[in-house]
Structure 1
Amino acid sequence: MSDTAPGSAYAPTPRTVPTRSRERASYDRALVHAILDEGYLCHLGFVRDGAPVVLPTLYARVGERLYVHGSTGSRPLRAAGASDAGLPVCVTVTHLDGLVLARSAFHHSVNYRSVVVHGTARQVTDPAERAIALDAIVDQAVPGRSADARRANARELAATAVVALDLEEVSAKVRTGGPNDEPEDLSLPHWSGVLPVRRTYGPPVPAGDLAPGIAVPDYLAAL
């Protein structure tokens, strides 16, 4: 990823300052990028007909910009390209790192790393930028895959939409550590601690019609 934006932190705004647990918030650019780069599934939030809508979809970060994948039949992606005004959105990415089990039900929690991005999404129409965005989205999920697949043809490109969102109004939030039990609960006979959660991949399963002799590529075996 190319990181061209100056400065080591994003500027807080009223929308990026949390109302609870402010000590967990961070605007550190390197931390935000690390959280975004570790994932590939985001949730895209917007308002449709006066009601909130949140959609899961794939994304990629290229420098100080997020690219979000979708279909040209998707209403939010159509709205993002309907006018120069674009579409106001909120994009979230979250990694679950552990289940925090306290002695009291109230203090149960989770360890996590998350990023929230506010801004105005625009539909990407420039062919060169779209090619960069689509390759990046594929490689965000499986690094190296875009070079090992057929490029989209004209019909497929016509059915694919990409929206871009600049990383300007951004915050990260992180919880680590064990449970925060009340002092009077420390003597209770209940197990307390953290159950770590990690993402793992199983062995690659070949397609039923895969030609004999095509081996699992190194970039996939490495996962």
Structure 2
Amino acid sequence: MSTPSEPSSTASSARSRVRRRPERAHYDADTVAAILDSALVCHIAFQWEGSVHALGTAHWREGDHLYIHGARASRMLKALAAGQACVTVTQVDGLVFGRTPLHHSMNYRSLVAYGQFEPVEDEAEKAARLQAFIERLAPGRWATLRPMNDKELAATAVLRLPLDEVSAKIRDHGVIDEASDLGWPVWAGVVPLALRRGAPVADGQSRVAEAPARLGAIVPPV
């Protein structure tokens, strides 16, 4: 088990700076990208008509932007294009069992990003970004699908958030107990957790019965 992570750089803003356990903070682009690319869902907090909301949605990253998509009529997408948002991602990698209740913990990779989303207006670019999203889930699948028509593309909104104001926080080590507790007769250690794909289950009306060989083996999305 590795030792506690060291901070890799400095925060780009006061609100993105990690204050609790700053030794676990990471601000470099490679760490941010790795966390975003390993997760399927992010949660986005935003304001709408005087109330605060937080909703989960699928996301993908291309370069230094985070992308999401949804129905053009979505209240969340309308709110995100009009005001500030906070995006969070958390991947839980293990349960940490200490010798006292206080020293139980979790190993995790988490991320917080701030800013305002901007719509992707160009239809060709929008289609390219949606292709990147599908290819992230299953490389090579886009070319096998019935192409989107103009009506479908017009009804779909794609938004992107510059990854300018972002911080990551990672715990990736074992139990940290008091020296006086090390002799306590209870098991201590880490139980790893991991996301996995199961065997593909075909739709009852699928014209192709056998799933592509790689479809059930991509963990996490590449």
Aligned equivalent of 2:214: 219
Aligned equivalent of 2:3: none
Unaligned runs of 5+ residues in structure 2 are: 1-7
1:154 is displaced (CA, Å) by: 2.4
1:210 aligns with 2:206: yes
1:142 is displaced (CA, Å) by: 2.7
Report the RMSD for the aligned CA atoms in angstroms: 2.0
Given that 2:135 and 2:142 are in contact with CA atoms closer than 8 Å, whether structure 1 keeps it comes out as yes
1:11 is displaced (CA, Å) by: 4.8
Q: Which moved more, 1:52-61 or 1:155-164?
A: 155-164
> Using the alignment, how far apart are the partners of 2:93 and 2:134 within structure 1?
24
TM-score by length of 1: 0.86
> Using the alignment, how far apart are the partners of 2:113 and 2:140 within structure 1?
26
> Using the alignment, how far apart are the partners of 1:218 and 1:9 within structure 2?
41
Q: 1:106 to 1:49 in 2, by over 3 A?
A: farther
Aligned equivalent of 2:160: 164
> Using the alignment, how far apart are the partners of 2:151 and 2:79 within structure 1?
21
The number of residues matched between the two structures is: 211
- Which amino acid in the other structure matches residue 172 of structure 1? A
- Which amino acid in the other structure matches residue 212 of structure 2? P
Q: 1:122 to 1:60 in 2, by over 3 A?
A: same
Aligned equivalent of 1:143: 139
Q: 1:36 to 1:69 in 2, by over 3 A?
A: same
- Which amino acid in the other structure matches residue 46 of structure 1? F
> Using the alignment, how far apart are the partners of 2:83 and 2:214 within structure 1?
36
SS at match of 2:152: helix
Given that 2:47 and 2:79 are in contact with CA atoms closer than 8 Å, whether structure 1 keeps it comes out as no
- Which amino acid in the other structure matches residue 33 of structure 2? H
Identity, % of aligned positions: 45
Alignment of 1:173-212 (within 5 A): 173-211=169-207
Given that 2:127 and 2:153 are in contact with CA atoms closer than 8 Å, whether structure 1 keeps it comes out as no
Aligned equivalent of 1:76: 76
1:46 aligns with 2:41: no
Aligned equivalent of 1:4: none
> Using the alignment, how far apart are the partners of 1:101 and 1:50 within structure 2?
42
SS at match of 2:127: helix
Q: 1:56 to 1:109 in 2, by over 3 A?
A: same
> Using the alignment, how far apart are the partners of 1:137 and 1:58 within structure 2?
9
Aligned equivalent of 1:66: 66
1:184 is displaced (CA, Å) by: 2.5
Given that 1:80 and 1:123 are in contact with CA atoms closer than 8 Å, whether structure 2 keeps it comes out as no
SS at match of 1:218: coil
1:139 is displaced (CA, Å) by: 2.2
Q: 1:143 to 1:38 in 2, by over 3 A?
A: farther
Aligned equivalent of 1:132: 128
Q: 1:35 to 1:192 in 2, by over 3 A?
A: same
Unaligned runs of 5+ residues in structure 1 are: 1-7
Given that 2:94 and 2:190 are in contact with CA atoms closer than 8 Å, whether structure 1 keeps it comes out as yes
> Using the alignment, how far apart are the partners of 1:21 and 1:120 within structure 2?
27
> Using the alignment, how far apart are the partners of 1:164 and 1:114 within structure 2?
20
> Using the alignment, how far apart are the partners of 2:194 and 2:99 within structure 1?
23
TM-score by length of 2: 0.87
